[in-house]
Amino acid sequence: MEKIVKSNSMSSRENILKAIAANQPSLIALPVIERSAVIAYQDNFAQFKTVLESIGGTTELIPNLEVLKDKIRLDKGNNTFIIDTITGETSDEENKIAGSAFELEKVERAYIRGTVAVAENGAVWVYESQMKNRLLPFICQHLVLVVDKKDIVATMHEAYDKINAGSEGFGVFIAGPSKTADIEQSLVIGAHGARSAKVYVIE
């Protein structure tokens, strides 16, 4: 009796799967988006700065990476515990903590290189390989991202043209600090992630 019930169950399952397979809708090609009709800005950096600051982030235009390296060294000199993924001047302790999810709560500030920034929404794309640990941008107290000015594009359409989202196990667009207004519609900064977010833009 048990074998008969099992056989009937398998038969029903196979029939359902066959029916689903036989009634699949035809594939529809993705629409071709005419880029000339998409939003464009006279100054992508100015738009990026305006949007990012409107959502709680800050920006600073710097002439070269050496300026940022000096800021990172100053942070370390002030005994601020940071994770630096940019200069290559990381200590054994930094590497140890970056590799451990349990130790990341100690991180006061994280410096991470971004790949592309988006003017229309203030977001920066970061690959997993740029983070050292995929938790880092979300668990540090203060997040610092770095992008080149030439890598600021107008829209998400252009951003996806410049990245390969499937090339690594993880990647993310980050826009400003953590924000939530779930409780009584009161905006709280830093409840679920970084309390501040700054983007250095290299000319």
Tokens in use for 132?
Answer: 């050292």
Residue 115 Cα distances to 19, 79, 121, 157, 186, angstroms: 45, 29, 15, 15, 33
Which of these ranges, 13-17, 25-29, 42-46, 77-81, has the smallest mean pLDDT?
77-81
Residue 141 has pLDDT above 70, yes or no: yes
The predicted model gives 100-118 an average pLDDT of: 86
Determine the Cα–Cα distance for residues 88 and 135; give it in Å rounded to an integer.
20
For the chain, give the mean pLDDT: 85
68-95 residue pLDDT tens: 988 888 887 777 788 888 877 766 666 6
Determine the Cα–Cα distance for residues 98 and 109; give it in Å rounded to an integer.
12
Which segment, 90-94, 122-126, 192-196, is predicted with the most confidence on average? 122-126
Determine the Cα–Cα distance for residues 159 and 37; give it in Å rounded to an integer.
16
Q: According to the model, what pLDDT value does residue 26 have?
A: 85
The predicted model gives 180-202 an average pLDDT of: 85
The predicted model gives 171-180 an average pLDDT of: 90
The label of the residue with tokens 């994770």 reads: 83
Residue 47 has pLDDT above 50, yes or no: yes
Determine the Cα–Cα distance for residues 22 and 15; give it in Å rounded to an integer.
10
Q: According to the model, what pLDDT value does residue 189 have?
A: 79
Q: According to the model, what pLDDT value does residue 42 have?
A: 94
Closest alpha carbon to 83 in 17, 135, 11, 25 = 135
Cβ atoms of 153 and 162 within 8 Å: the answer is: yes
Q: According to the model, what pLDDT value does residue 198 have?
A: 96
The predicted model gives 147-152 an average pLDDT of: 97
Tell me the helix, strand and coil percentages in the chain, rounded to 5: 35, 20, 40
DSSP for 121-156, please give it.
TTEEEEEGGGTSSTTHHHHSSEEEEEEEGGGEESSH
> What domains, with CATH codes, occur in the chain?
36-202 (3.40.50.10420)
Determine the Cα–Cα distance for residues 86 and 183; give it in Å rounded to an integer.
37
The predicted model gives 101-125 an average pLDDT of: 90
Supply the pTM of this predicted model.
Answer: 0.78
Residue 134 has pLDDT above 90, yes or no: no
**Burial code of 31-40, b = ≥16 C-beta within 10 A, e = fewer?**
eeeeeeeeee
Q: How far apart are the first and last CA of the chain?
A: 77
**Burial code of 57-89, b = ≥16 C-beta within 10 A, e = fewer?**
bebeebeeeeebbeebeebbeeeeebbbbbeee
Q: According to the model, what pLDDT value does residue 193 have?
A: 83
The predicted model gives 88-115 an average pLDDT of: 76
